[in-house]
Structures are given as structure tokens and as C-alpha cells.
Amino acid sequence: MTATKHASSWSTPPRDALRVGHGFHLRDVDPESTPGFDAGKKHAERELAAGVPTLSELQERLFAASTQGAPDAVLLVLQAMDTAGKGGIVRHVVGAVDPQGVRHYAFKKPTPEELAHDFLWRVESQVPAGGQIGVFDRSHYEDVLIGRVRQLADAAEIERRYGAINDFEEGLVGRGVRVVKVMLQISADEQKARLSERLDRPDKYWKYNPGDVDERELWPAYQEAYQTVFERTSTALAPWHVVPANHKWYARIAVQRLLLDALEGIDPQWPAADYDIAVERARLAAT
Amino acid sequence: MTATKHASSWSTPPRDALRVGHGFHLRDVDPESTPGFDAGKKHAERELAAGVPTLSELQERLFAASTQGAPDAVLLVLQAMDTAGKGGIVRHVVGAVDPQGVRHYAFKKPTPEELAHDFLWRVESQVPAGGQIGVFDRSHYEDVLIGRVRQLADAAEIERRYGAINDFEEGLVGRGVRVVKVMLQISADEQKARLSERLDRPDKYWKYNPGDVDERELWPAYQEAYQTVFERTSTALAPWHVVPANHKWYARIAVQRLLLDALEGIDPQWPAADYDIAVERARLAAT
């Protein structure tokens, strides 16, 4: 490819350093840590900038390949407690690529129509098409997170959903969608500081919602619900990555690297001409 | 606002220099020209970069205001002959803002289902919601451009559509959507050079389509169809702007400036807190 590979500062790539495997426990993750990356903030900013042309070219190749029928796509699933930095990932990592190739969808509280269907109904319609990078800003995992913590469904239904999610994601992978699952993990103290900042700054008031404190009071229950999510749905085909996120700069390079890995795994190629180049040159010359 | 206003190099703003008014004729537009901007490419690149923080903050304010019900949105309608640079506008101008606030939609050849409805049916569903910047990459105008040139509908139906478009856009403006209509005008020679480049570069083959030459052969008919579009649909509420586009750097700063004007016209404000700040501080402190 044209974009030159830059020397990376990762000692261990995030796909290894952050992947949820057997014996993982969320309480063991230090939100202040920067696994696999010891170089600090300044290097991280350079790393992020250096990744942009590569990400951008890979996205264009992915899109180009889809115009001749390649089914490959990437789906970034973002989950986190409030203020953990999902928005910053979308803006600073995903925002670096051509908006034509990105499909961002923020899942909100389900509507009555959505609730009348299976929980995956509204999710299916947002799956990225071939050539796209999809971003789920919250996702079907809310149905086993807030769904469990707030008992929005009975226990048997919650149980059923873990298996349904695994089947759904296996189906995605089978049709060419690489699923990159990311949970941004901040500490309770860091959340407090970030919520507090929103109450201090008039340009941040709109980001604050009294319900955020209600959810915050359920912190231990959410951590437990996440732990169960990891145990039940971190599969070989679609593993979870828990990204320590007290340092925004770390979370951003980690997610960028995970996206780069997914795209490099696809290794999309510029499609060959599906027309006769010499004939077209002659036709064009005649105009 | 926080973003500082930079000294602009425009002698006449694009909203005046490029607006289609009475007596306009497309043949009078020199695609090589740079109306209102005499400073050249280097200054244009600086101008584009300088506009990014302002555009970005205005977009965030627009989005923030919508969370408390403000209906305001912006719709950028992009029309042009092939290779004129629509994609570059999306990537380099629109791509500078948060993808969460952008809704990009590329209109393709209508599907049989879409054709079974009125031509505006598929367009209505893509209108940006309050808080969004929508981009129509091609648009309902195709139905009076290719629709007319290729006689895809009879003359009476084409005639009807101009009025229907004006009514539709008047409705949009009435509900808070600022409509920014842009036609990028390149010369036939410039198009030939750009198509030719696509046949020379393996990373561009996928952007070339033999049908592009068929359309190119109808250049005069398209120019005529555009002229009629301008005469019939450049209204006071939703005027057209014809942007000379042989110089990509000019087209980009011109469209950025038109977007900035639309957003500055809305002048979105950070919403006030719709909760009691002191109460929330206390609740948060107690957690």
C-alpha cells in the first residue's frame, strides 16, 4: 500500500494486551494503566496522527472493494459507563476517515415499536453494509447491561440474550463484518470528576443528565453486569477488548490500533478495472 | 463563541459572489475563476484550516441546541457533473466536523420501489433531523437533470417537479432546515483530464465507469438542464450557488464558507441547564 508504515510505539498490540480471555476480571483492570504503551501522552498524540493516513487509505480501499461486491465491513461496538469517552473516540479516531465510508449509529432508549420486537430487531437494520465502517455508540449490549441492572426483562430472557448475541455476531462475521468490541473502562473517581466538570461549564451543561447520577449509584451492579457480558460473549470470533480510559490519549490510540488491525486483517485491494481500459481511453479521447 | 474569528481573505463572500440571481447564465461562469478570493492556493489552504475550529464548534452547538428541542439543521445539496469534486467536498470540508453530527446520503439510481413512489418520497426520509448537518450527494435535482436529459419522465411531469421542489424546500426552511444548494462547475476539458487520470491509475480504476463517457457526450444537454434548474429553483429561501471548481482548493473554501454562513445565520446557543445545578452538584458529591 502507498501509506507508509510508521514505527509504532506499542510493545504489545492492544489486540493482545486488552483482549478479554479466560480468567479475565474487570476489577483487575487499572483504568489509569496504559497496557502495551509506555511512551506517554506526547508519543501517543504522534501515534494517533501517524495512524490517520493508513486508516484513511484502508477505509478507501475497503469502500472501493465493495463497489465490486466485496462484502467486507467493520463494526466497532462501543460500550462504557457515562463520560468514559465514546464521543471522543468517534470524533478523534473515526472522524479521521471519510464520512462517506462511516455509518455511525447511537442507540437510545428503545421506542415502543422497537420494544414490540426482539431486542436485535433494531440492531440488524443498523449493521454496516459492505465497504462501510459502522460504529455502534452503545449497542445490543445495553439489553444485557441496563436490561439486567434495571430488570427491564426477566432473568430467563436476559439469559437467552447472551446466546442470541453470540449467534448474531457469528452471523455478522460469517457475512464479512469484522466485529471490534470495545469497553472503555474509567474509574468511579474519574467519572465523578468528569460529571462535575459538566456542571461547571455552560458549554457542557447539555451533556449532563440527572439520570447519570442515578446510573452512577448502580456502579457496582453495572461492573458485575459487564463482567458477565465478558464471560458470556467474548468469543473467538468476536472478542471483547477492555480499554483503560482514564487517559483519553491512551484510549484513542488503542481503539485506532484495533481498527487498523481489523482493516489490515481484511487487507482490501483496489479492484481491477471491470471494463477494457484501452477501449475506454479511446472513447474518452473521441469526446 | 470560543473559536476565534480569523481574518478572512475573501473580498466578496461566496453567498454574494456565487449566488444565482436574475439574469444568471451558466455559460458566463468561468470554471477556472475564483470569485471573491484573489489570494491563491496557499492562502486557501490556510483559510480552510482556519475555518475548521469554527465549523466544528458551530456544529457542536447546533447539535447541543437540538437536545433541548431546537429544530435547526443544515442541508447541503451537492450537484455536479462527474469528477467535479463532490467527494472531495465531503471528505475535506464536511469531514472536518464530528461524524456524530453529520448525515451523509448518496442518491443512486432509484430502485423499483422508489420509482413506484413520487420522486420526493425517498428524499423526504433522508432530510436531516434537528441538530444535524445533512449532505445530499446528488439529490432530488437528478430527477430534473438526468430525468430531463434522458427523458426518464414525460415533459409535463418534469415541469411539475420544479414547482414540487420549490414547495418541498420551502417546507424544509419552514421547519428550520437551512438549505445550501451548491453546483460545482468544471470545464469539459478539466473533466476529460480527470477521467483520463482515473484510467491511468490502478487506485482510481474503481472510480471510473464507462457510463461516465455516455453522460459526458450529453454535456451541452446537461448544461441546459442545469440552467433551467437555476432559473426555476433558485429561490429567495433556497438559492443556488454555482462554484467554479477547476481549482479544488477554491471549491472547498467556498463551500466551507457557505456552511459557516448557514450556521452563523442559525447562531446556535449552548442550551441552559434544564436541571438545578446546585442540586445536581450535591447529588453528585454524595456518591
Does pLDDT of B287 surpass 80? yes
Does pLDDT of B3 surpass 60? no
Confidence of residue B1 (pLDDT cuts 50, 70, 90): very low
pLDDT, tens digit, for every residue of B79-95?
999 999 999 999 999 99
Confidence of residue A262 (pLDDT cuts 50, 70, 90): very high
Does pLDDT of B2 surpass 50? no
Mean pLDDT score, A60-71: 96
pLDDT value of residue A9:
86
Confidence of residue A1 (pLDDT cuts 50, 70, 90): very low
Does pLDDT of A145 surpass 80? yes
Does pLDDT of B19 surpass 80? yes
Confidence of residue B71 (pLDDT cuts 50, 70, 90): very high
Confidence of residue A3 (pLDDT cuts 50, 70, 90): very low
pLDDT, tens digit, for every residue of A183-196?
999 999 999 999 99
Question: Residues B241, B17: contact at Cβ < 8 Å?
Answer: no
Q: Which residues of A touch B277 (CB under 8 A)?
A: 199, 205
Does pLDDT of B42 surpass 70? yes
Write out the H or E segment, with its range, that includes residue A243.
strand A240-244
CB contact residues (below 8 A), chain B span 127-166, against chain A: 135, 137
**Crossing angle for the helix pair B277-285 and A188-200, to the nearest 10 degrees:** 170
Confidence of residue B4 (pLDDT cuts 50, 70, 90): very low
pLDDT value of residue B6:
55
Q: Which residues of B touch A100 (CB under 8 A)?
A: 87, 90-91, 104, 106, 137
pLDDT, tens digit, for every residue of A87-105?
999 999 999 999 999 999 9
Confidence of residue A8 (pLDDT cuts 50, 70, 90): confident
* Residue B77 β-bridge partners: B136, B181
pLDDT, tens digit, for every residue of B136-191?
999 999 999 999 999 999 999 999 999 999 999 999 999 999 999 999 999 999 99
Does pLDDT of B12 surpass 90? yes
Interface test with A, best of B98, B192, B200, B201 (most A CBs within 10 A): B98
pLDDT value of residue B7:
64
The interface predicted TM-score (ipTM) is 0.91
Which pTM value belongs to this model? 0.94
Does pLDDT of A5 surpass 80? no
Does pLDDT of B34 surpass 90? yes
Helix/strand/coil (H, E, C) string of chain B?
CCCCCCCCCECCCHHHHCECCCCCCHHHCCCCCCCCECCCHHHHHHHHHHHHHHHHHHHHHHHHHHCCCCCCEEEEEEEECCCCCHHHHHHHCHHHCCHHHEEEEECCCCCHHHHCCCCCHHHHCCCCCCCCEEEEECCHHHHHCHHHHCCCCCHHHHHHHHHHHHHHHHHHHHCCEEEEEEEEECCHHHHHHHHHHHHHCCCCHHHCCHHHHHHHCCHHHHHHHHHHHHHHHCCCCCCEEEEECCCHHHHHHHHHHHHHHHHHHHCCCCCCCCCCHHHHHHHHHCC
Interface test with B, best of A1, A63, A100, A218 (most B CBs within 10 A): A100
Any chain A CB within 8 A of the CB of B214?
no
Largest CA distance in chain A: 72
Mean pLDDT score, B186-208: 97
Q: What percent of chain A lies above the pLDDT cut of 70?
A: 98
CB A281 to CB B94 under 8 A?
no
Q: Which of A94, A213, A273 sits opposite B99 (nearest CB)?
A: A94
In angstroms, the CA B96 to CA B92 distance is 6
Q: Which residues of A touch B259 (CB under 8 A)?
A: none
Does pLDDT of A233 surpass 90? yes
pLDDT, tens digit, for every residue of A205-214?
999 999 999 9
Q: Which of A97, A104, A206 sits opposite B271 (nearest CB)?
A: A206
CA distance B162 to chain A (A): 28
Mean pLDDT score, A23-48: 96
Q: What single-letter DSSP state applies at residue A131? A: T
CB contact residues (below 8 A), chain B span 23-82, against chain A: 64, 67-68
Mean pLDDT score, A168-183: 98
pLDDT, tens digit, for every residue of A119-130?
999 999 999 999
